A and B are shown apart, each in its own frame.
Chain A
């Protein structure tokens, strides 16, 4: 059936996959980042198709907006001489190929045999409200653990960055 939803999904999925392939194949880091932004945004499009508009907005806000910026700043932090890695041996390539093939087979059978029951959903009505009610009544513990995780990430990164900073300060 060629419904509008199907066409939209194919279009968005195509952009996402092309973005991913470009990310792997381009040699310039900045080009990779722009390809990655396209992938992130089209994944948000897929969420919209799945009636998860809050998640879609978050995907754009966090991934396309914030994660990309942190990677861009990471690129600016490094010295970027254009050095490409020496190509690996053919033996190694073969092993990687086998690995990819195995993964694809596992994924294929996994999805093929997966039996998701069709449920009536009303996710598109008051989507954020539904998430809020679920998150703050059923999933309180994971939510609070998230805050600990975020705190650890923040303090850890500050410690690492500060160490770097002091070293640089010594040099100057």
Chain B
């Protein structure tokens, strides 16, 4: 019973009117006002140091002939004029575009089809199939590149052996232009098609079942339902995945590096050198930090263009509705 005074204060405190509580808390208005900033600060501090600063610095370094182990000379826009006249830059741009097209189109088409099938109301083992779709995503790009390069090897690869049985001569998936683009595209598509499938499935699950039901009563089969319900209702997410894969496509680096070990050009005539690999080659292979940064700026412009196209497309779709 000696504790009575203590026990009585605590309920009384809790019974204080809200205004009183507020007043007590406002004893530190400064701290309270700063709290939200403290919560978002870690991101912004890290972003400022490791994101924004290097980003702005890229534009600065791009104006220099910047030898990391030698001199730095200001040369204005020379790196950019050189880049625009550099066939290697356009070659890398073309390769990046080609790999992106080859990987994105089949990947998203397959993902659409698989998402539609996975959305089936009575599908058995649905969880098993969904999990299987995510296995490539958790496999690292490095491991993927090594196993695919072996599977597609010109002389000792499984695929060329199978092609040989079918009477098709061995295809050099590393040294030939189309072969190497195809190989990289297959690796990229393999890694992401299951992930895209699940993204589409997520959107599809938001489509009310009764739409399918009405179609079913009208006699529409699986294919018609796919074309007339599934695809239209997925349009926003399809655009989203196209943009994500564009931005991802501009960053393809590891696959071309690892299928041609030791070579930053990805083959004798740079036939599979992507923009990111070209940037790395110039920066860290040829010691031209300035020129490499100029390529970085070009990549940035391309990302902006891709994002703008996305914005225009998606706002048009919104307007259509």
Are A and B co-members of a single complex? no
